Structure formats: structure tokens, C-alpha cells
Amino acid sequence: MQLRYQFRVYPTPGQQMELVRTFGCARVVFNDGLRARQEAREAGLPYVSDGELSKRVITEAKKTVARAWLGEVSAVVLQQALADLNTAYRNFFASVTGKRKGRKVAPPRFRSRKDNRQSIRFTKNSRFKVLDNGRLRLPKVGDLAVRWSRTLPSDPSSVAIIRDAAGRYFASFVVTVDAHETLPPVDAEVGIDLGLTHFAVLSDGTKVAAPKFLRRAARKLKRLQQDLSRKQKDSNRRKTAVVKVARAHARVALLGLVGLPRSDQLPDQGRRAARDHHEHGPPAGRLSAPGLAGRTGQPRNSWTRTSTASSAGPRDP
């Protein structure tokens, strides 16, 4: 089973420039491949194969003056950009033919440097490495400082570097694990009641505080969104306002999930209860009647029941 572990990284100004250059090269290769297949389709030519596309937009393009700068970044990143394009086409064809279930998948679109989210991917072939001092070494980028919140269960098979709309950088590792983590069985039981005054109240008297400062962050987000709506389109001030709104969004999402500046605390609360108790529903008569839900201050049917609390597995971040 494959899991993804994501951590915040802090590149230096020089490393940020290298990452921006790498983002741009990967985006150009993706767009060149998409354009080549679209032009072949419009001309009535056969579908350009994956190998032919790689040869045309990477190998041969590096020999031209217009694309010689593609050699300044890792070749694995360029290959992975084409792999993303090939995956997008396969998903689109599978959706059109009915092999892929669910909502219809749109054809690939061109990537833009104005996209709020930019990402690149390094595989083992690129020889990225997690150093003994905790830094992440990326080819032609350097050693990035990583804020580790936990250890990786195994050696990662790939790592994606992501830049979000708020200007933050993340490293997303893909690791392989053998099986779910199994917690030992326990005899104790506990009921969990979700409320408004407190985020959760356990039947043993334990109270989990509610994130009361979420409202202040939400009000700030509202004000920034109003400021953004007044900015002129394509102006520099609008670009600045977009970044401010993205950062406020990230903080509201973080506080709304956990109430504290750690996005994994909410799952930790559930895992802590599962480790120490068997969760169960309330005794008869503890649920609020539908007409009394607003008067009691507790949400309707707020008790949580799980069948096997000791089978909690590792989180998939």
C-alpha cells in the first residue's frame, strides 16, 4: 500500500529561483507535448506516441536555440511532466469510451504560469536524497530545509515539490508500507459527544476545547475577499490581494480542522480515544430529541459510534 506524507519546506531565495525555473521548464514541456498532439489531430495525422513525443519535445528540443535552456533542470522532471500529460490523455480516453466510471473527464488543458498551484516531481532515477541532517537534496536545486513532523516509514519512491497560492512550499513523499498499523485491543469504552461549547466531550469527563479563534480568522478572510473584489483586473494590486486571500484561506482551513496550528491534531484526538478506549454510542435517552436540538446547545445525533476502535490504521496525509 502506498501512502503520501507531506511536509513544509523552506527554500532559500536562490533555491526558490531554481524551483521557479524548474516549474517553468516542466510547464513548457507539458504544453509543447499537448500542442504537438493537438496539431497532429487537426492535421489528420496518427496519435503521437509517448516515446515519439518525448524525443520531439525533450531530446530534440534541447538541441535547438529556442529550447536549449531545458538542459538547465533535471531531465527526470521533464519526463514526469510528459508522464502527467500521458496520464491525462489515458484518463480522458477511458472516460470517453466508458471504461472509467464516474464523472466525465475533460481533455488536458494548457498549463499557465499564472496557475495558483505549481508542482514538479522527482523519482528515484533523479537520485534525490534525504540527508542525515534532515535536509532534502534535489538535483540542480540544492538542499532544502524540511520541517519534519514525523519520520517516514520507508524510503520514498518519489517526491513532489508543490508551491500553493499562498506562496508556501511543500514536499510530498510517496512511501510503500506493508500493512495497516494495528492498535492492541482494550477493555475500556468511551462515548464521544460533539458540541458547540466544547469541540467534543467524552463520557469520562474529558473535554476537548473548541477552536474559538476560528471566527476571527474567518472575519479577516471576509474582509480580504471584499478588498479583492474591488481591485482592478490584471493589476499588480489585485495580484497582491490574491496572495493575501490565499494565505487567509489556508489559515481558516487549518483552524477549521483543528483549532490549533497543527493539521493533524483532529485525527490524533480520534486515535488517542481509540487507543485508550472502545468508542460507543450513548446510553438510552442521551440523544437530544429533534425538537430540542437547538435548546440543548448540542447538534442532533451528535454521538459517534465505531465498531472496531482497535483497527485504526496510519493516516494518509
In this prediction, residue 77 carries a pLDDT of 96
Q: Which helix (H) or strand (E) holds 74?
A: none
Mean pLDDT of 10-15: 96
In this prediction, residue 141 carries a pLDDT of 96
In this prediction, residue 256 carries a pLDDT of 61
pLDDT tier, 163 (very low <50, low <70, confident <90, very high otherwise): very high
Lowest mean pLDDT among 38-47, 129-138, 207-216: 207-216
Cα three-residue angle 143-18-10, rounded to 5 degrees: 45
Query: What's the mean per-residue pLDDT of the chain?
Result: 81
Is the pLDDT assigned to residue 71 strictly greater than 50?
A: yes
What is the residue type of 234? D
In this prediction, residue 166 carries a pLDDT of 87
Tell me the pLDDT tens digit for each residue of 84-95: 999 999 999 999
In this prediction, residue 282 carries a pLDDT of 42
Lowest mean pLDDT among 118-132, 170-184, 285-299, 303-317: 285-299
Q: What does the alpha-carbon distance between residue 91 and residue 160 come to, in Å, rounded to a whole number?
A: 21
Three-state SS for 164? Answer: coil
pLDDT tier, 261 (very low <50, low <70, confident <90, very high otherwise): very low
pLDDT tier, 317 (very low <50, low <70, confident <90, very high otherwise): very low
Lowest mean pLDDT among 43-47, 129-133, 150-154, 215-219: 215-219
In this prediction, residue 292 carries a pLDDT of 32
Q: What does the alpha-carbon distance between residue 249 and residue 145 come to, in Å, rounded to a whole number?
A: 25
In this prediction, residue 211 carries a pLDDT of 62
In this prediction, residue 185 carries a pLDDT of 75
Cβ proximity of 259 and 211 under 8 Å: yes
Lowest mean pLDDT among 152-166, 173-187, 215-229: 173-187
Record the cell numbers describing residue 3, joined without a space. 501512502
In this prediction, residue 182 carries a pLDDT of 63
The pTM assigned to this predicted structure is 0.68
pLDDT tier, 275 (very low <50, low <70, confident <90, very high otherwise): low
In this prediction, residue 24 carries a pLDDT of 96
| DSSP track, 294-313 | HHHTS-TT-B---S-GGG--
